[in-house]
C-alpha cells in the first residue's frame, strides 16, 4: 500500500474486514467511493448507521428486525403452531422464499465443540422456554444436513420430545435438478430412507 | 509437490471461505496434517459433494501450495461414519480427539501410525455406545504416538516402584517419596490406560472403564494436555456445558442444564 494517501489506506483496511472482500476488491470499492458523488456516499454512510442502530433481535424468534416482535411473529395470518428451527437468518430467508408460512426460531449457530460453541451459546434455552410457553403442534428442525447440524438436531429433539411436542426433521436426499449418477452413497441412502409413496 | 497427488485422509475440520470456497484441515496418510483450499466446494455437486464433513474418510487429490495452503482438486468419500452424527455423545467425544490431533500435530509432518489410529477410532466411534471410554483410551494412545505418552510403570523420577500418584510435570507415576505435587489416581484407571496402550487397537473397545474412572481419566487427560499446551482445549468446555464427562448417554445427549 505504498504511495497511497493515509485515508485511502485506512478505507481499504476497513473494507477488507468485510467477509469475502480481499485487498484488491477493497481497493476497487475505495476508488468507486472516491469517484462517486458526495451525496450518494453520505446516503450510504447514513443507511449503514441507520441499519446498525435500528436492527435488533426479535425477542420471540431471534430474527433480525426493526420491530419487536418481528413482522413474522406478529403476523396473525401465519400458522402459529408450527415452528421451523433454522441455524441463521439467511436460512430463514431461504424458507420464506420457498413459501413456508409457519413461524421460525433462529439458533444463531450450531453445536461446534472445537470452536467452543455449546448449547448455552445458542438460542436453545429460549426455544425450550418458548415451547413450554406457547401452544406448539410441531417443531421442524431445519439445521443443515452436515455433521454439526445433525448433532444439533438430535440434541434439540431429545430436549423437546419429552415435552410432548411433535418434532420433525426436514427431508434429505437428492436435490431437484441433480444427477443421481453423481450422488454420493450417504445422500442416496438418505434418499432411500426418506422415500414416499406416489 | 508439483504434480497432483492422491492420498487417503480423515477430515479434521473445515470452514467456509468467501462466497463458495472451503478451507479444510485433513490428516492424510502420506503428508500428515495439511490445510487445503477446496475452491467452489459449497456449490460443487461433483468434486466435493458431502465429502468435507468432519470425521469423513476420503480420497483427496492435492496439488502444490499457495500461501501455505494445498489446493484440493477433488475428494471422494470412502466412509462417511454417519453413526457419529446419530448420537450427541459420539459427536462430542469425537470432536475432542479431532481437536487433539489438530492442536498437537504440526502441518506436513506425518506421524507413523497416526492415520491408522484415527481411522480405527472413527470406525469404532460410529458404532459404540461407550463413546467416552473409547475416546479416553484412544486419547492416551494418541498422546503416546505423539511422544507425550504417560509413564505408568516405575517412578518416573527415581525408578523405584511407583504408587498411583500422577505427576503432570513429570508425565507419569511417581513413588511416595517423589510424590510432592502429584495427584492420586485410582489403580483401576491406571490399569485400563496401560492395557489401552499395550493392546492392539482392535482390543480397545473391549476394555472396561467405570463411570468414576471416566471422570477421573478425563480430568487427568485435561490436566495433562493443558500442562503441555498451556491452554485448555475448547472441547473440554463444550463437554462441561453438556453436563459432564461420564459415559451415560443421558448426560451428554439430552438433559439441558
Say whether both A172 and A136 belong to one domain: yes
Residues A112, A35: one domain? no
The verdict on a CB contact (< 8 Å) between A111 and B253 is no
Distance, in Å, from the CA atom of B144 to the CA atom of A41, rounded to the nearest integer, reads 60
Q: What percent of chain B has pLDDT over 70?
A: 92
Residue found by looking up cell 448420537 in the block: B87
Q: Where are the alpha helices (DSSP H) in chain B?
A: 83-86, 88-104, 114-125, 131-145, 187-198, 211-229, 234-241, 249-252
Q: Once rounded to an integer, what is the mean pLDDT over residues B141-150?
A: 94
What does the alpha-carbon distance between residue B251 and residue B243 come to, in Å, rounded to a whole number? 6
pLDDT attached to residue B67: 57
Smallest CA–CA distance, residue A128 to chain B, in Å, is 9
The predicted pLDDT at position B246 comes to 52
Q: What is the pLDDT of residue B250?
A: 36
What is the CATH classification number for the domain harbouring A119? 3.40.1360.10
Q: Are B151 and B209 in contact (CB under 8 A)?
A: no
- What pLDDT does residue B256 have? 37
Q: Give B112→chain A minimum CA distance, Å.
A: 24
**Is the same domain home to A88 and A170?**
yes
Total count of domains within chain A: 2
How far apart CA A36 and CA A157 sit, in angstroms, is: 52
Rounded to the nearest integer, the mean pLDDT of chain B is 88
DSSP assignment of A147-162, as one string? HHHHHHHHHHHHHHGG
Mean pLDDT, residues B118-139: 95
Instruction: List, for chain A, all residue ranges whose pLDDT scores fall below the cut of 70.
Output: 1
- The predicted model gives B3-13 an average pLDDT of 93
Please indicate if any CB of chain A lies within 8 Å of the CB of B236: no
Residue of B nearest to A116 (CA): B234
Query: Looking at residue A187, what is its pLDDT?
Result: 83
Statement to judge: residues A43 and A140 lie in one domain:
no
Question: Looking at the domain assignment, is residue A102 inside a domain?
Answer: yes
| CB count in 10 Å sphere of residue A7 | 10
- B47/B60 Cα distance (integer angstroms): 10
The answer to whether the CB atoms of A187 and B50 lie below 8 A apart is: yes
Would you state the pLDDT for residue B66? 53
> Chain A within 8 Å of B216 (Cβ-Cβ)?
no
DSSP-assigned states of every residue in B164-196? SEEETTTTEEE-STT-TT-EE--HHHHHHHHHH
Whether residue B173 contacts residue B162, with contact meaning beta carbons closer than 8 Å, is answered with yes
Find the closest chain A residue to B99 by CA distance: A114
How many CB atoms sit inside 10 A of residue A8's CB? 16
Q: How confident is the model at residue B1 (pLDDT cuts 50, 70, 90)?
A: low
Q: Residue A181: closest CA among chain B residues belongs to which residue?
A: B46
pLDDT, residue B244, reads 65
- Considering the domain boundaries, does residue A135 fall inside one? yes
Residue A101 sits in the same domain as residue A50: no
The pLDDT tens digits of the residues spanning B179-230 come to 888 989 999 999 999 999 999 999 999 998 988 899 999 999 999 999 988 9
Q: A177-186, B125-134, B139-148, B244-253: lowest mean pLDDT where?
A: B244-253
B84 contact residues in A (CB cutoff 8 A)? 147
Here the cell at position B72 is 484440493
Of A37-41, B38-42, B105-109, the one with minimum mean pLDDT is B38-42
pLDDT at B247 over 60: no
Q: Which ipTM value was assigned to this complex? A: 0.83
Nearest by CB: A113 against B87, B235, B256: B235
Instruction: Establish if B84 touches chain A: CB-CB under 8 angstroms.
Output: yes
Query: Strand, helix or coil at A95?
Result: helix
Q: Is A143 helix (H, G, I), strand (E, B) or coil?
A: coil
Give the tens place of pLDDT for each residue, B48-96.
Answer: 877 899 999 999 999 986 557 899 998 988 998 889 988 999 999 999 9
From B101, which residue of chain A is nearest by alpha-carbon distance? A114
Cβ neighbours of A155 in B, within 8 Å? 88, 253-254
Q: What is the pLDDT of residue B41?
A: 84
Query: How many other CB atoms are found less than 10 A from the CB of residue B172?
Result: 20
A113 in a structural domain: yes
φ and ψ at residue A84, rounded to 5 degrees: -105, 120
Predicted pLDDT at A143? 96
Residue A192 falls within a domain, yes or no? yes
Cβ distance B156 to B101 under 8 Å? Answer: no
CA closest to A156 among chain B residues: B254
Helix (H, G, I), strand (E, B) or coil at B92: helix
Q: How far is A77 from chain B (nearest CA, A)?
A: 33
CA A78 – CA B95 distance, rounded (Å): 39
Q: A24 and A68 in one domain? A: no
pLDDT at residue B254 greater than cutoff 70: no
Chain B residues with CB-CB distance to A187 below 8 A: 49-50
Read off the pTM.
0.86
What local confidence, expressed as pLDDT, does residue B191 receive?
93
pLDDT tens across A34-64, in order? 999 999 999 999 999 999 999 999 999 999 9
pLDDT of residue B257: 33
Q: Which three cell numbers stand for residue A182?
A: 453423481
CA distance B88 to B91: 5
Residue B13 scores a pLDDT above 80: yes
Looking at the structure, do residues A22 and A107 belong to the same domain, yes or no? no
Shortest distance, CA B156 to any CA of chain A (angstroms)? 33
Identify the pLDDT of residue B111: 94
- Structural domain including A17 reads 6-54
Indicate if the pLDDT at residue B235 is higher than 90. yes
- Looking at the structure, tell me whether residues A24 and A72 fall in a common domain: no
Q: Is the pLDDT of residue B46 over 80?
A: no
Helices and strands (DSSP H and E) totals, chain A: 7, 6
> Chain B residues with CB inside 8 Å of A116's CB?
234-235, 237-238
Q: What is the CATH number of the domain that holds A23?
A: 1.10.8.420
- Asked if A36 and A95 sit in the same domain, the reply is no
Please give the radius of gyration of chain A, using alpha carbons only, rounded to the nearest integer. 22
Domain match, A185 and A89 both: yes
**Residue A40 confidence (pLDDT):** 95
Amino acid at each position: 500500500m505504498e504511495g497511497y494517501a493515509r485515508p485511502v489506506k485506512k478505507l481499504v483496511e476497513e473494507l477488507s474486514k468485510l467477509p469475502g472482500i480481499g485487498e484488491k476488491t477493497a481497493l476497487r470499492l475505495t476508488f468507486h467511493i472516491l469517484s462517486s458523488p458526495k451525496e450518494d456516499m453520505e446516503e450510504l454512510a447514513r443507511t449503514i448507521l441507520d441499519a446498525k442502530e435500528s436492527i435488533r433481535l426479535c425477542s420471540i424468534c431471534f430474527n433480525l428486525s426493526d420491530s419487536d416482535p418481528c413482522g413474522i411473529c406478529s403476523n396473525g395470518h401465519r400458522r402459529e403452531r408450527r415452528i421451523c428451527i433454522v441455524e441463521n437468518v439467511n436460512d430463514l430467508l431461504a424458507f420464506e422464499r420457498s413459501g413456508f408460512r409457519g413461524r421460525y426460531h433462529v439458533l444463531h449457530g450450531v453445536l461446534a465443540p472445537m470452536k467452543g460453541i455449546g448449547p448455552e451459546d445458542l438460542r436453545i434455552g429460549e426455544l425450550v422456554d418458548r415451547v413450554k410457553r406457547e401452544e406448539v403442534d410441531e417443531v421442524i428442525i431445519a439445521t443443515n444436513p452436515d455433521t454439526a447440524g445433525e448433532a444439533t438436531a438430535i440434541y434439540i429433539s431429545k430436549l423437546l420430545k419429552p415435552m410432548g411436542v411433535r418434532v420433525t426433521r426436514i427431508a434429505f436426499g437428492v436435490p431437484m435438478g441433480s444427477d443421481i449418477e453423481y450422488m454420493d452413497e450417504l445422500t442416496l441412502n438418505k434418499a432411500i430412507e426418506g422415500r414416499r409413496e406416489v | 509437490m508439483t504434480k497432483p497427488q492422491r492420498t487417503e485422509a480423515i477430515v479434521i475440520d473445515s470452514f467456509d471461505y468467501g462466497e463458495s470456497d472451503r478451507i479444510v484441515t485433513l490428516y492424510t496418510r502420506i503428508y500428515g496434517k495439511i490445510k487445503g483450499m477446496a475452491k467452489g466446494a459449497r456449490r460443487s455437486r461433483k468434486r466435493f459433494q458431502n465429502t468435507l464433513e468432519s470425521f469423513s474418510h476420503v480420497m483427496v487429490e492435492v496439488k502444490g501450495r499457495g500461501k501455505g495452503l494445498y489446493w484440493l482438486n477433488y475428494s471422494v468419500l470412502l466412509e462417511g461414519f454417519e453413526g457419529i452424527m446419530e448420537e450427541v455423545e459420539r459427536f462430542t467425544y469425537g470432536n475432542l480427539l479431532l481437536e487433539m490431533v489438530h492442536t498437537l500435530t504440526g502441518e506436513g509432518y506425518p506421524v507413523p501410525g497416526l492415520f491408522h489410529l484415527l481411522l480405527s477410532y472413527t470406525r469404532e466411534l460410529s458404532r459404540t455406545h461407550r463413546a467416552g471410554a473409547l475416546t479416553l483410551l484412544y486419547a492416551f494412545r494418541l498422546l503416546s504416538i505423539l511422544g507425550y505418552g504417560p509413564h505408568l510403570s516405575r517412578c518416573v523420577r527415581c525408578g523405584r516402584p511407583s504408587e498411583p500418584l500422577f505427576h503432570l510435570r513429570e508425565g507419569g507415576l511417581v513413588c511416595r517419596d517423589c510424590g510432592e505435587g502429584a495427584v492420586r489416581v485410582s489403580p483401576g484407571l491406571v490399569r485400563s490406560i496401560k492395557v489401552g496402550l499395550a493392546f492392539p487397537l482392535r482390543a480397545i473397545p473391549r476394555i472396561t472403564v467405570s463411570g468414576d474412572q471416566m471422570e477421573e481419566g478425563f480430568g487427568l487427560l485435561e490436566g495433562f494436555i493443558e500442562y503441555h499446551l498451556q491452554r485448555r482445549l475448547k472441547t473440554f468446555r463444550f463437554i462441561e456445558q453438556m453436563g459432564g464427562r461420564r459415559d451415560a448417554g443421558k448426560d451428554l445427549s439430552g438433559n439441558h442444564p
